[in-house]
Every structure is written in C-alpha cells, then in structure tokens.
Structure 1
Amino acid sequence: MSVLVYVLNILLLAGMVWVLRKQSYTSSLGYAFYPGLVFKLSCGVLLGLLYQYHYGAGDTLTYFNGSLQLTALARQDSGAYLRLLLFNDFGSEALRASLPFTSFPDFSNSFFIIKIISLLNLLTGSSYYLNALYFSLFSFWGSAKLAAILSKYYPEARAAAIIAFLFFPSIIFWGSGLLKDGIMMGSMCWLVAFALELGKGQPVKPITLILLPFMLYIFVRMKLFLAAVLLPVLLAYLLIRWLAKYKPAFRKVGVQVMVLLMMTVLAGAALTQIGVIYNLDFIFEQVVKNHEVLLAQSLHGPHISLDNLEPTFASMLRHASEAFLSSIYRPFVWESRQSLYLLTGAENLLLLVLTVLSIASFVNGKYKVSLFYVALLIYILVAATMIGLSTPNFGSLSRYRIAFLPFLVYLLLQSYYARLVMERVAAAYTRLKARKTTHL
C-alpha cells in the first residue's frame, strides 16, 4: 500500500479529531481530552497486535479477512457489491459459503461489521490498523461526549466520569480496535449523553437530530438485547423528567425514583405475562445455547459454572444473583496465573473495594441519589445479569461487560469515600510535583 494512502488517512483522522475538539462540550474534559484520545487509539493498535501475534486468531481477524473478500468484489463488480451491501444478495451460494457469519445475514451483527469494514477498506487501502484507528475514534467520540456531558451536569463527579469513560483499562482496551464492541460503546454512550441532555432541558441541535437515527440503528444492530433494556430505561427517565416540568409532585427526587422503580417492576411483570402468552422460551433457549457453547471452550480454565441452567424463567431467576456477581467480580486474582486473567483479577479486586466504599457511603448517608443514577443502576443490574447468564467464558466476558462496566465504575468512583481517596492521591501528587519543581 502506498505511503500516500497512509498520509491522506492520517490527515483525515487528524481533521476529525480537530472537529471533535472544537465541539463546545469537550471543554468540560480539559487536559484529559488528548491523553484519553491517545490511550484509546493506542489500545486499538495493541488489540490488533495481541490477536495477530499472541492469539493468532479471533473475531477481529475474522472480520477483517471477511471484509477483504467483499472489498475484492467491490473492485471486480460494484453492482454485485452494492446488492450484497444493501440487500444481502450474494449472487451465488459459493460466495455466501466462503464468507463468515452468513447463516442469517439479515440478523448477524458480525456480518454487518464485516460490511462496514469492507467500505472502510476502499478508503484505507485495506489497512487493518488504519481501520482500527477509525473504529477507535468512533468509540472515543461517544465516550468523550458522555464523559463531558456528565462532567457538565454533575461537576462534583467530573473525575469519576473521566476515569470511567476515558481511562479505565479494560473498558478502553476492549472498547477499541476492529471489534463490534467499540462501535457498540460509541453509539451507546452517545445515546445516553443525548438522553441526559434532553432530560436536563437542553435544546436539540439540528446535527443531533440528523445523527440520532444513525446512532439508534448502530446500537440496536450491534446489541439488540442490550438496546431492549437501555432504551426503555432512558425513555422512562425522559418521561419522568417531562412530567416534572408540569406536575409539581414529580419534582421531588424521591418521587421520581419511586415512579421509575414502579415502572421497572410493572415492565418486568408485563414481560413475564407476554412470555407466558406468546411462549417466548426461545429467548431463554438462546441464552442457554450461548452459555453451553462458550462453556465448552472454557473447561480448560477458570469459568462461571451455573449448574443445571435451563431455558426457563425460574431457572434464570435462580441463577441471576450468581451470574450478576460473577460478571462483575470474576475472575478473582487467584483463579488463574495467566497474565491477562491476573490483570483482570486485579481490576476486579479494585471494583470490589470500590463497591465496599460505595456501600459504606450509602449507609452513612454520604451518597447522592438522582433519577439518572438510579436509571443507570437499573440498566447495570439487568445487563450484568443477562451477560453473566450467557457468558461463562472470562475472556469473552471481559469484552462483553464493557456494555455496563463504564456506568458501574462511574457510580462507584463518585461515592464519598472513593472521592476522598482520589482527592488525597491528587493532593499527594501535587505536593510531590511541587517538591520536584523546587529541587530543579
């Protein structure tokens, strides 16, 4: 590939960064913007190196290799490529059989990602790492916007937002590079930021209205079951905020939270009844199928073991607490000596400590409660349980849980005692820096 292609793409990426930095909301990030960006882009490259030279295989390489076939088709027969891109018309069974994830192309988010990468290939000259930079920048866009909007409306928790969405290691690493998880994260964070701004009475800009359907489509296409949880929660939040404008009784935070919890309970009851009437056991069957497939790949190492998991509501409910806790706090540091598991275990130990500090803050009345935070907590509870039930493999779990982990880290980091620790660490760092400056 010519040097010119690299130069042009680097200039285009730099232009996108410049436009992003000029957005008014990014001022809330201060000096964290560029370090966060560099960390994100670097993780996108490192993820590719990890899969290419350590694992030798993986989804990211499968996506890229599949995209090369589509890009070759685009150069040979643009009409056939467009028909495949828009209508999943393969033209021949031979082509379909040669491509991955084509059993159900209309529903496969993996095949959708392959098509996106094939389009990028036309711009990047089929460079894996240039594609990874574009994916990482999209993910950073959504994450940075949400961190900035949270910093604007909850300035006392600015450090928590910046750490959770821009610097928490596993969140940034698995939310980068040429994987569908980064695309999911970028669109998800953008939508949450939009809902928060709308709920706070911020006027909607024309460009936001243009981007909204695109972000909704991407998020739903990437993770339908997560969208089925998060979007109703955000709609309930917006409905209660709208009612608060016209009904004085809804302006009290306690009332808002109670209404949201009642809506959640009623929604759960309604779904249960719908499942009974329309026999939606196939959803549970899919969860169990995913669990069994990943479990078969995990027996050689540490994994979540949910004994006698069955495709019934009663069985799911019985295993829910174990699945929820395991998806957040496992693997433990002692469960494996493999380097990646040790790193994940150390991070999970930190999450456990932060959880204890948050519980202590709540018990002592030193934790701020808001409708938005409760909405995030409801989403975390449901998403973590669903992912824990369907994903016993800790390698896959590390990736999939970024769908809820940044929100959890954000809530945990802003507890009174966690903020006290961060303030003391920051003060110690400032004193140390001042001493070094004095000696110089």
Structure 2
Amino acid sequence: MPVFHLLLSIGLLAGLIYWLWRKTAFNSCWNFIFWPALGFKLFCGVLLGWFYEGGCDTFVYQHYADKVTAIGYAAPEAYLKIIFLNVLPVADLVPFATFSNSFFFIKIVSLLNFITGSNYYLNGAFISLFSFAGCWFLVQAFARIFPGTANAAVLAFLFFPTAIFWNSGVMKEPVLMGALGFFWGLALKTVYFSGKKLWLNLLLLLLTSWLLWKIKFFVALIIFSLTAFWCLVLWAYKRFSFLRRKYVLPLSLLVIIAGFAVVLSFGLQKFASAFFYRHLVWNYETLKAQSVGKPIIALNDLKPELGSVLMNIPEALAGAIFRPFFWEGDNLLYRLAGAENLVIIILFLGSLSFFKKGRKQQFLGFYGVLIAFVLIMAVLIGLTTPNLGTLNRYRTIFLPFLVYLLLQAPFWQKMLDRFNLKFKSRRV
C-alpha cells in the first residue's frame, strides 16, 4: 500500500476520532468510556477480517469494490455513472443487482478505496468508526433524555460482544446500526429539544433515513412506522388532557394498534398472500436446506398462510432471542454465542419484575417503540432465518436494544448503580 494512502487514512481517522471525542466526551466518566469503547469497536473490525480472511461476505464486498474503484482510476466518467446512475460499463462487473443493498454497499466501499488504497482493514476502520459514532450519539441521547439509563446504554450499545463484533468491519450491518443510532438519536433530540438547530437536525434525519432505506428498506419501513406512531402519540398526549388519565393512554394505544393491524391485514391481504408469506416460507426453507447437520429453529410445518405463521411466532421469537443455547453448535462462535445467550436469559429472568416506579412515561413512550422494534425484528428474523449461526449475525440489529430494555429492571438497575458512574450530558 502506498505511504500516501496510509498517511491519509490515519490522518483522517485521527481527525474524525478527535472531533467526535471533543464534541461529546466532556467529563471524566465519558472520557473513561470513550477510548475503551472505541478501541473495542476497531479491534472487532480487525478481528472480523482475521476470522473470515479469504471468505464470507465481507471479502466478497471488498473484492467487487476493488473492481469498481479500478474503473474509477481508468475511466472516471464511467465510474460516476456507476455511483450516481447505477449504470455498469460491463454487465457482469458485479454479481448483485444494481438496485440491491449489496451493490449500494459496494459503492460505499469503492469510495473509501480512494482514501485507503483499497486496504480492507482501513476500510473496516472507517466503517466501524461510523457505526461507533452512531451508537455513541444514541447513548448520549439516552443519557440526557432518560436520566439513570446511561450505564445500561453504555453496556448494551458499546460493550455487548456479539453486537459489537457483527456491527464492525466491512459489512452492511455496521452501516445500518450507525445510521439507526443517528436516526433515533436525532429523532429524540428533535422531539425533546426542538428549538435547538431544528433545521439541521431535520436535514440530518433525512440523510440518515435515506441511508437506512438504501441499506435495508424493510427494516427502515419498520423504524419509520414506529417513529411516526410515537410522534403521533406524543402529539395526542400533549394536546388532549383526557389521555393523561390512568389507563386511558395504554388503552388508546391498544385500540390504535389493533385498528392499524385490522386495516393492514385487509388492505394488504392480496399482497401478503401473493408475496410476503410465500417469500417468508421460501427464505426459511432455503436456509434450512443449506443448514443440514447444524442447529436450527425447527418451525412446525410453516406454510404461506396467516394461521401457520401466527402458530409459529412463539417458537421464532424465543429462538431469535435466546438461541443458540450454550450446548448447541460445534465451533467457537456457537460456544461464544451460547454463553452470551445465557447472559441474556439471566437478564430476562432478573427483569421479570416491572420497570422501576416513575418509568411509566418512558415505557409508554419511546420505550414502547423499542419494545415493538425488538419484538417485530425478532419474529421476522426467527421466521426467516432457521440457521442459528446466520441468525446470530442478523439479530444484532435489535440485540443492543433488547439488552438496554432488560437492564431497566430494578434488580439490574441497583447492580449498575454500584458502579457509581455519574454520567452528565449537556449536549447530544
């Protein structure tokens, strides 16, 4: 690799890290957390490449991004058509459709190649830094808006091993998680502090919305719908005083959700039967056929019908959240995932008591959004991904939020309070 690219990459990374640190880490506790969390994130990006060296999707993306970058050096006009118009000079340049999220990600990596000299690990460092910045921004937003949850947010989003490992390096997942962190952090900031830099926040929200849509549009649809619903509930709660009475708001939420589900089920019945259910079953059966001899989520006679899907939701949900168990699988990744899931089971058992008194407002507000997001994503991933190894990677989109919610239980809050880390947040 040319020295120029190495120095340019290190200089840009150092500058971005310094800017992020100066922007947000302004007291001893945040300083204490920032550097270990960043170091762990960057290390996981290197570890991912070392563990899968020569294989896995991560090197496939790098390989085809190098081809696209080579066109940029040889024919800049053709490269610009690839980036902005998705027009390929050679039909079989990449094995992905030009409208796919994989092709979009390859374009991102190809742009990074001009900075890094097509160095895989430096590309991974930039992508890992973006993911870290989004999670860091969201953690700061939680610490400011929901006082007392900073310790839980730090553990869930910055140090929970599987979530950090799979959301690092040259993969689509870290881009998705970084964009989601920025999106919800900006949404919280806009709602609770609307007078501060409103137009800038809205512009950044649009940018992160576009990035979410391009990386995984079906996840983006869920995120956008839940966020819009939360904003509607907040508006109604502030405007209509009767909603503030006991039980009225939760009942209203249930009625709205039920009505929305009924309208959706009738309005999209043909679409669902023609595409959604069939695609769901096809995805499950395809991955199941490729997972012979491996531990899987064994659903009971899954068919492209509403009744069959509903009957299998409990198994899919439990499998996505708690499996693989520590005795399942025959390699190191399965063992580590099983040990981590044992921690999740313990957290779940310790959180069976209700949330701490005084947290109802959070629970019925944005916490409700997070709960719905975790449940929806867990069900969809559990229904479509029987292979527990693949599932362990895909579920990292909701895993940090699950851990964050479980740690809100009084039992775990008391234990976290013993660390006595006093996080203060003056800005997000």
Shared fold (TM-score, shorter chain, > 0.5): yes
Return the letter of the residue paired with 2:2. Answer: S
Structure 1 residue 7: Cα displacement: 1.6
Structure 1 residue 217: Cα displacement: 0.8
Structure 2 Cα separation of the partners of residues 26 and 231 of structure 1: 32
2:159 equivalent among 148, 152, 167: 167
1:62 equivalent among 18, 41, 60: 60
Higher helix share: 1
Partner of 1:383: 377
Return the letter of the residue paired with 1:189. Answer: G
Residues 16 and 420 of structure 1, relative CA distance in 2, 3 Å threshold: same
Q: How does 1:14-25 map to 2 (within 5 A)?
A: 14-24=14-24
Partner of 1:200: 192
Partner of 1:135: 127
Q: How does 1:178-257 map to 2 (within 5 A)?
A: 178-205=170-197, 206-251=199-244, 254-257=247-250
The yes-or-no answer on 1:151 pairing with 2:149 is no
2:407 equivalent among 406, 413, 432: 413
Instruction: Tell me if structure 2 keeps the 8 A contact 1:40–1:176.
Output: yes
Return the letter of the residue paired with 1:129. Answer: Y
Return the letter of the residue paired with 2:43. Answer: S
Partner of 1:37: 38
Note the alpha carbon deviations across 1:295-350, whole angstroms, 9 max, x for none. Answer: 12222211111132122222211111110110010000111242111110111111
Structure 2 Cα separation of the partners of residues 197 and 217 of structure 1: 19
Structure 1 residue 118: Cα displacement: 0.7
Partner of 2:102: 110
Number of equivalenced pairs: 416
Instruction: Tell me if structure 1 keeps the 8 A contact 2:273–2:304.
Output: no
Q: How does 1:339-354 map to 2 (within 5 A)?
A: 339-354=332-347
TM-score by length of 2: 0.92
Structure 2 Cα separation of the partners of residues 393 and 262 of structure 1: 36
Note the alpha carbon deviations across 1:61-93, whole angstroms, 9 max, x for none. Answer: 1100010110111111111111122222123xx
Structure 2 Cα separation of the partners of residues 90 and 383 of structure 1: 34
Return the letter of the residue paired with 2:141. Answer: I
The yes-or-no answer on 1:90 pairing with 2:85 is no
Note the alpha carbon deviations across 1:39-72, whole angstroms, 9 max, x for none. Answer: 11111111111110xxx41110110001011011
Structure 1 residue 152: Cα displacement: 1.0
Instruction: Tell me if structure 1 keeps the 8 A contact 2:71–2:78.
Output: yes
Note the alpha carbon deviations across 1:79-116, whole angstroms, 9 max, x for none. Answer: 1111122222123xxx33241213xx21x111110111
The yes-or-no answer on 1:332 pairing with 2:325 is yes
TM-score by length of 1: 0.89
Partner of 1:402: 396
1:368 equivalent among 343, 359, 362: 359
Partner of 1:71: 69
Note the alpha carbon deviations across 1:182-241, whole angstroms, 9 max, x for none. Answer: 000001111111222233244352432332222101111112121221211111111222
Structure 1 Cα separation of the partners of residues 292 and 248 of structure 2: 48
Residues 250 and 10 of structure 1, relative CA distance in 2, 3 Å threshold: farther
* Structure 1 residues without counterparts, runs of 5 or longer: 430-440
* Structure 2 residues without counterparts, runs of 5 or longer: 422-428
> Counterpart of 1:155 in 2: which secondary structure?
coil
Instruction: Tell me if structure 2 keeps the 8 A contact 1:175–1:402.
Output: yes
Structure 2 Cα separation of the partners of residues 317 and 67 of structure 1: 41
